[in-house]
A = this chain, B = another copy of it.
Amino acid sequence: MKIIDAQLNPTIGALEANTTKIINAIAEARRNQADLILFSELTITGYPPQDLLLLPHFIEQTQNQLQRIIEASENIIVVVGLPRPNPENKEKPLFNSAAIIQNKQLLGFQDKSLLPTYDVFSERRYFEPANRVQIWELHGKKVGITICEDIWQHSALLTDTSYRKNPIQELISLKPDLLLNLSASPFSITKLSNRLKVCAKATSALHCPIVFCNQIGGNDSLIFDGYSLYLNAKGELLQIAKGFEEELMLVNLEADSSPMTLSFSYVEDLYHALVLGVRDYFYKSNFHQACLGLSGGIDSAVVACIAVAALGPKNVLGIGMPSRYSSPGSINDAKQLAQNLKIEYREIPIEKSFESYLETLSPHFAHLPTDVTEENLQARIRGMLLMAISNKLGYIILSTGNKSELAMGYSTLYGDMCGGLAVISDVSKMQIYALAHWINRHREMIPQNSIIKPPSAELRPNQTDQDSLPPYEIVDNVLQAYVEEHQSSEYIANKFGYSPSLVEDLIRRIHRNEYKRRQAAPGLRVSEKSFSEGRRFPIVERWIK
Measured CB to CB, the residues of A under 8 A from B are 11-15, 17, 46, 48-52, 54-58, 89-92, 117-118, 122, 124-125, 161-164, 219-220, 280-281, 284-285, 346, 348-350, 352-353, 355-357, 359-361, 364-365, 368, 371-373, 376-377, 380-381, 383-385, 387-389, 391-393, 413-414, 418, 420, 486, 488, 515, 518-522, 535-544
Evaluate contact between B540 and A92: CB separation under 8 angstroms: no
Q: List 6 A-B contacts (CB under 8 A).
A: A14-B541, A91-B162, A124-B125, A353-B353, A353-B360, A380-B384
Evaluate contact between B364 and A384: CB separation under 8 angstroms: no
Q: Known: A14-B542, A90-B164, A284-B540. Is A392-B373 also a contact (CB below 8 A)?
A: yes
The oligomer's copy count stands at 2
Q: A49-B538, A352-B360 are in contact. List 8 more A-B contacts (CB 8 A).
A: A50-B536, A55-B486, A124-B125, A280-B540, A284-B542, A361-B388, A376-B387, A518-B521
Q: Please, how many angstroms separate the alpha-carbon atoms of A54 and B483 in the complex? A: 11
Nearest Cβ on chain B to A188's Cβ, whole angstroms: 17
| Across-interface contacts of A281 in B (CB, < 8 A) | 540
Please give me the residue from chain B that is nearest to A165 by CB atom.
B91
| Across-interface contacts of A359 in B (CB, < 8 A) | 352
| Across-interface contacts of A541 in B (CB, < 8 A) | 11-14, 46, 49, 52, 284
Evaluate contact between B542 and A17: CB separation under 8 angstroms: yes
Evaluate contact between B392 and A52: CB separation under 8 angstroms: no
Q: Please, how many angstroms separate the alpha-carbon atoms of A11 and B543 in the complex? A: 9
| Across-interface contacts of A384 in B (CB, < 8 A) | 357, 377, 380-381, 384, 414
With beta carbons under 8 angstroms apart, the residue of B46, B54, B219 that contacts A486 is B54
Q: Please, how many angstroms separate the alpha-carbon atoms of A393 and B367 in the complex? A: 12
With beta carbons under 8 angstroms apart, the residue of B14, B372, B377, B392 that contacts A543 is B14
With beta carbons under 8 angstroms apart, the residue of B89, B387, B543 that contacts A380 is B387
Evaluate contact between B360 and A537: CB separation under 8 angstroms: no
Nearest Cβ on chain B to A150's Cβ, whole angstroms: 14
Most chain-B Cβ atoms within 10 A of its Cβ — which of A117, A368, A418? Answer: A117
Q: Known: A346-B364, A359-B352, A376-B387. Is A13-B488 also a contact (CB below 8 A)?
A: no
Q: Please, how many angstroms separate the alpha-carbon atoms of A358 and B250 in the complex? A: 59
| Across-interface contacts of A353 in B (CB, < 8 A) | 353, 356-357, 360
